[in-house]
Structure 1
Amino acid sequence: MPLAVAPYLPPPAYVTDVVNQKSEGLGDIFATDATRSVMSRLRVSGLTYPLRRPCQASFIPNTGEFLVEEFSGFVGRGESFDAAKEAWALSVHAAFQDLLHKRHFEFTADEEKVWSVLSSNIDVAVYRNNTPLMVTQFGRVRQVRPYPSQIEWDNGYRESINISQVDADDFITYKSGQPFEAVVTRDPVSFRLKRIVHIKRISEPTQLSAEKEAELLDSIGSSKTLPEGDWK
């Protein structure tokens, strides 16, 4: 089943309450007036990235940079703490999603270094096991009692459905036999249906009559109509 990527509007990443501290022992890159905080989890674009351990974050006002000590190479820039923090979170989010679905041998040398930083701080196994899969599927309503209660996917698999699982006001009006296209979220481990986040009616595929099918075959021709060739 093809994966469907949904568009998003990224909210700011989550960072724990800020505690102003003096930056000691972190080198000249951190100004003494830097705002430091402990990041215990990262949320961005509706996703939660499980961190292996709390991370040390710093915002440097005079350069407008947000850095996290453990995430070497990732820098967020902005005019304020929140803007720089969000820029940093989006850069981590983009890099992680870009590399997550690649196989190790597909990495370039630079990508391997980036993935080493990401995977050493983000628990990839926990992320995979807790992040729903989003797929596009085709199916049809099979039972209506009196509202749609069972659907059948194009692979023949039948699944019970509750109206509350479908993010579409008009799904309740679907009749038995109605074909549809849907964007579905599923449990990453059991593949159990969680929600249908988008659904639309589609038309039945057109079936040619025997006469039309014969006309089509005649127009295409067959091996019998090809000239004989010299295969010697």
Structure 2
Amino acid sequence: MTNKDGHGSHASVDSHGSRMAKMRLRAIIGAHASDASAAVSSESSESFGVLAKTEPSEFGVAVGLVVDDVAWVLITDRYVRSLGPALMWALRNKAKALKLFSPEGAGDLARIATHFDFAIEVFDVDVAGTARVAMPKIVEKIEVSVADEMFAEFIRSAGADVVREHGVISGEVCGLEVCRVVRTIGASANGDRAVGELHSASEANGASELEIGVGAHDRETF
């Protein structure tokens, strides 16, 4: 559809998805204002009521509105990567706190938020707009197996720094990985042993081996 100037009407009219997101955010703010009405002053309640009717701003894959120095942001896509842009938007709008609402990945966002020196609350919001405080998701720590750990001293004696990450032990020189302990997990069709990186300390199959080289392809040549 075009207007009299020949330009598409979408140039001046928000998309349906954007309008819906803004409506959802205003509804979320309104619900929180109602829940807190008994605990806030009449002046603060009036401020909430007026600003909640203000049109939210759209930025990236989110919509946001600042109410009483608090940035309220509803994420619409790219959920796990949304905290950075939301925080930048809040700071640009001189907010002193951030309330982030996401229908997906709220636990991961809550965990990431703990690393910032800024007041951030993350909420898991459902289709109906009901928001619940999200608890930081606990990431399972994978320990290096005893068999793999036996290579640590050899790597160190060869002049490399021993690095342990996500259950995998490797050696680095000036920050460049030059070796890695891998787990043989069986035989391939041609009789060669298949090799895989250890992903669980409880994995018992196969034997640990030290491969030398910079990167997986370089290690294969040795």
**Structure 1 and Structure 2 fold alike (TM over 0.5):** no
TM-score by length of 1: 0.22
Larger RCO, structures 1/2 (Cα 8 Å, 6+ apart): 1
TM-score by length of 2: 0.23
